[in-house]
Amino acid sequence: MKKTLLFLLFIILTSCYQETSIVVEGDFTTSYVNGDESVPVTVKIDSKITGADMYEWTFEGGSPSTSALKNPGEVVYNKQGTYTITLKASNVDGESKEFTKTVIIKEGIAIEFTHEIVKSNFSPVEVILKNTTLGEGLAFKWEFQDGIPVSFTGKTPPNVIFTSPGEHTITLTVSNGFESEKKVQTVTVAPLLTSLFSYEPKFENDDYEAPVTINFTNKSTSATAYKWTFQGGNPAVSTEENPTVVFTSAGTHEVTLEASNDKTSQVSKTIITVAPDTNLRTLANIKLGINAAHNNNNIGAMFSTVTRQVYKANEITNENSSLIDIIFQGLNSNLTSNKFISPDQANNYGFLALKNAQSTIFINSQSLCNCGLNFTEAQFDAMTNDSPIKSLDISYSAAGAQEFGFTYPRIILFKTQDGRKGAIKIKDMVKNGASSYILCDIKVQKQ
């Protein structure tokens, strides 16, 4: 009886063991290698399946397309789309289970386009666009800031026109149905064409008396070519950017500048008035200091009718010393002992010698020179050309070494080394200690 019970227990236990099978369970995961979802895409498979002995992988649209490995590793997708990964896992007990995952593969977006300006960037600017972006199933949207047209949908837009000066953006947005990318380029339109110029006479012609030489400065914008017309000028026409012109006759002269580029042109004009030639230079309010003022660098005692400048001791150089043609000598602050001296005699009268000094004749006192000269203040004031002084006999024999005291107004006559005659009118004498000075007007021939 006891043996019978043990046998029945063995049969029951054996029967229970044979009816228990291994269950297939778990799952698998997918991940994009390097996080990139754009073709070509590599997807990594990581299987967490347990209880299986056999694996049947199917990779829709992938490479490889199938696998029998537990962990097939990586699958490559070369085309955009939505694909299913299927796994059928089974074991020897006849257990099986199917698992599926979906992966989304996006078309890679690498935007490539160029723009080319027709002719030049002067307004209006015409732009040719070339879209070389690769890929299938892509959508293109263009935006043209301040352009004509303003926008366009499609791969290749028509030529675009920009008219307003400044920078304008061209934006291309490309979409693959999953994501969008954007690329921006800039077109610069040059400022609008403007014809503009200024002019300035040569220093010695700043009184605009004929003949007058004038330098023209072109201030046009966005111009590449220039056509000048000078009424009564020499030359009469010019295509230079910054010409120099001589007007030999008195009167009004019209100057015209036509500035142009490959798109348009514009004209600007002005009138230049040339006065008759008086051959007389008038210089007003020239302040000349006594010797002490000059040597202490307070008020200069030396003057050039060429540069029209007064020079103090510390302002004299080897370059300008030869241009000085008038020197005032004032021995004291009371201005009781004064004379004008020739520059080549400067070292004899309390000044340093001048290099390449000029020789100028001065008539310091017409009443004492016994030279028959009687040029009055009234004649000086009325003089508008060089006729009144042209015939004056201003010579060494008539010069003498006359001085004059604190008496004004008075006229000092002179003749420069190059033969120009002139008159100095002392209209004020200012006592101010070591800074005492005289105030003069000077009229001198130009030639």
Location of structure tokens 């972006």:
133
Compute the average pLDDT of residues 345-359.
96
pLDDT for 103 equals 86
Compute the average pLDDT of residues 128-155.
95
pLDDT for 93 equals 85
Cα four-point dihedral sign 232, 234, 239, 241: negative
Amino acid sitting at position 183? K
Query: Going edge to edge, which strands form the sheet with 139-144?
Result: 151-153, 139-144, 166-175, 180-189
pLDDT of 78 above 90: no
Cα angle at 303 between 381 and 353, to 5 degrees? 145
pLDDT of 183 above 50: yes
Compute the average pLDDT of residues 33-60.
85
Pairing of strands 280-289, 302-304: unpaired
pLDDT for 1 equals 45
- Residue 128 CA, chain-centre distance (Å), reads 28
pLDDT band at 7 (very low <50, low <70, confident <90, very high): very low
pLDDT for 370 equals 80
pLDDT for 308 equals 98
Compute the average pLDDT of residues 241-268.
98
pLDDT for 396 equals 74
Residue 157, preceding bond cis, omega within 30 degrees? no
pLDDT for 8 equals 42
pLDDT of 2 above 80: no
Is 197-274 in CATH node 1.10.3720.10? no
pLDDT of 5 above 60: no
pLDDT for 36 equals 61
Task: Rank 7-21, 56-70, 216-230, 363-377 by mean pLDDT and report only the highest.
Answer: 216-230
pLDDT band at 4 (very low <50, low <70, confident <90, very high): very low
- First CA to last CA distance, the chain: 162
pLDDT of 401 above 80: no
Compute the average pLDDT of residues 16-29.
76
The tens digit of pLDDT for each residue in 41-52 reads 899 999 899 989
pLDDT for 3 equals 46
pLDDT of 63 above 60: yes
pLDDT of 173 above 60: yes
pLDDT band at 38 (very low <50, low <70, confident <90, very high): low
pLDDT for 367 equals 86
pLDDT band at 37 (very low <50, low <70, confident <90, very high): low
Look over the chain and give the mean of its residue pLDDT values, rounded to a whole number: 92
Compute the average pLDDT of residues 95-117.
89
pLDDT of 33 above 80: yes
Domain coordinates of the chain in residue numbers?
A: 28-105, 113-189, 197-274, 280-445
According to CATH, the superfamily of the domain at 28-105 is: Immunoglobulins (2.60.40.10)
Please indicate whether the domains covering 28-105 and 197-274 agree at the CATH topology level: yes
Percentage of the chain modeled with pLDDT above 90: 78
For residues 84 and 95, what is the distance between their CA atoms, to the nearest angstrom? 23
pLDDT band at 133 (very low <50, low <70, confident <90, very high): very high
pLDDT band at 82 (very low <50, low <70, confident <90, very high): confident
pLDDT of 86 above 80: yes
Compute the average pLDDT of residues 230-243.
98
Q: In the CATH hierarchy, which top-level class contains the domain 113-189?
A: mainly beta
401 closest CA partner among 340, 343, 348: 340
pLDDT of 108 above 80: no
Within 13 Å, how many C-alpha atoms sit on residue 105's CB side? Answer: 21
Higher pLDDT, 154 or 36: 154
Taken as a whole, the chain contains a residue count of 447
pLDDT of 12 above 60: no
For residues 343 and 366, what is the distance between their CA atoms, to the nearest angstrom? 21
The tens digit of pLDDT for each residue in 285-319 reads 999 999 999 999 999 999 999 999 999 999 999 99
The tens digit of pLDDT for each residue in 362-382 reads 999 998 888 889 999 999 999
Model-level pTM? 0.72
Within 13 Å, how many C-alpha atoms sit on residue 119's CB side? Answer: 14
